[in-house]
DNA sequence: AGGATTCATGTTATACTGTAACCTTTCTTG
DNA sequence: CAAGAAAGGTTACAGTATAACATGAATCCT
């Protein structure tokens, strides 16, 4: 099954890319299940774990959801802007922030290994539409 | 029950402070339940939501857990260092990071409302104990 | 006082998220 | 082919969170 392994990951990644927006694991399951009626949660979670490991997918901790990476850099630190109005998610990268964050954490001798940076708020479109949170 | 409202929040906050480490909602439930055998999840989640609203408690998104605030500033942006070895959590504050983060997000017209910053890694003690992750 | 109101909590039930453990299939290697 | 590795299938469950409605205590108003 060496082949089918990658295929499952590919299907999951394709589903996430088609959607664009963050998806819960079970939404992914529903998408990928289309045609494979026997798909169960562990399969999806395994594929997601592998994709995250490979840097192709990020998990939005504060949303319990997953998105395809849009940066295509290897193992970067993603910074997410999450619109609480429309659900849109933007992914950014800032070496400054990563460094500063490592510096702050390192002041107490802490060795950072993984960063979670998620900013909730309102996107430009929703602001201009005059939807004051 | 105007009084008991605050009391429940106080009990939850006390449990979190006694523990020091992050607790899951259900761990809090078990602690607070001591003597109140009829306590159910919604009560705890409601108290936690109120405490978070009041800035007394933070939720660690990447741990699905809660901690009492140790900064005692009103509505600050907490930065958490989470040791994956021993579970210790440190809370820090950095106006620089907050500003830079707002600047990055704001480049696309995004209006930040809530920041989630959590750094996983290894604390100084665990590093010196020679536990290379 | 007496009734309406409010609000925290109690209560029940359920939805959503995630994983452990074991089995089956396929592919690789010797 | 036998043995082993890797991916996925399958079952079952653990953990996290909330909806919806009932209850009881304080408050407000007349
Ligand atoms: Zn990315
Ligand atoms: Zn928006
Ligand atoms: Zn704090
Ligand atoms: Zn540690």
B85-122 pLDDT tens trace: 999 999 999 988 988 998 988 889 999 999 999 999 99
DSSP 8-state class, residue B129: T
Rounded CA–C1' distance between A71 and C4, in angstroms: 59
Which one of A70, A91, A124 terminates a domain?
A70
Looking at the structure, do residues B54 and B92 belong to the same domain, yes or no?
no
Asked if B122 and A111 touch (Cβ cutoff 8 Å), the reply is yes
- pLDDT mean over A105-126: 93
Count the domains in chain A: 2
- pTM (2 decimals)? 0.91
Same domain, B5 and B44: yes
Are A84 and A116 in a shared domain? yes
A15 and A52 share one domain: yes
The domain that contains B20 carries what CATH number? Answer: 1.10.10.10
Size of interface A-B (CB pairs under 8 A): 128
A91 and A66 in a common domain: no
Q: Nearest-5° angle of CA A57, CA A58, CA A60?
A: 145
Q: Which residues of A fall within a CB distance of 8 Å from B81?
A: 105, 108, 110, 112
Measure in Å the smallest separation between the Cα of B92 and chain A Cα atoms. Answer: 8
Q: Which domain holds residue B114?
A: 76-133
Specify the DSSP element, H or E, that contains A91: strand A89-92
In chain B, at which residue ranges do the beta strands (DSSP E only) sit? Answer: 57-60, 65-68, 79-83, 89-92, 111-122
Do residue B88 and residue B48 come from a single domain? no
Render pLDDT for A1-19 as a digit per residue (tens, 0 to 9).
434 556 899 999 999 999 9
- Domain limit, last residue, from A49, A70, A91: A70
Please tell me whether residues B66 and B116 are part of one structural domain. no
Q: What is the mean pLDDT of each run of 10 residues along chain B (133 residues)?
A: 66 95 96 83 96 95 97 85 94 91 89 95 89 48
Same domain, B62 and B14: yes
How does the average pLDDT of chain A come out, rounded? 89
Is A88 found in the same domain as A40? no
The answer on B6 and B53 residing in a single domain is yes
Closest among A64, A98, A117, A65 to B80, alpha carbons compared: A117
Of B70, B105, B121, the position where a domain reaches its end is B70
Q: Report the pLDDT value the prediction gives residue B86, as an integer from 0 to 100.
A: 92
The CATH number that applies at residue A105 is: 3.30.1490.190
A3 & A61 share domain: yes
Ligand nearest to the CA of B16: 3
């Amino acid at each position: 099954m060496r082949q089918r392994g990658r295929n499952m990951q590919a299907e999951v990644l394709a589903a996430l890319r088609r959607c664009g927006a963050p998806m819960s694991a079970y939404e992914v399951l529903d998408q990928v299940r289309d045609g494979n009626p026997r798909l169960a949660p562990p399969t999806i979670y395994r594929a997601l774990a592998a994709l995250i490991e490979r840097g192709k997918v990020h998990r939005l901790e504060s949303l319990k959801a997953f998105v395809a990476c849009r940066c295509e850099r290897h193992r970067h630190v993603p910074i997410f802007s999450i619109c609480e109005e429309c659900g849109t998610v933007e992914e950014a990268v800032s070496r400054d922030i990563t460094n500063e964050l490592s510096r702050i954490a390192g002041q107490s001798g802490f060795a950072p290994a993984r960063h979670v940076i998620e900013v909730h708020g309102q996107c430009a479109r929703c602001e201009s539409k005059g939807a004051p949170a």
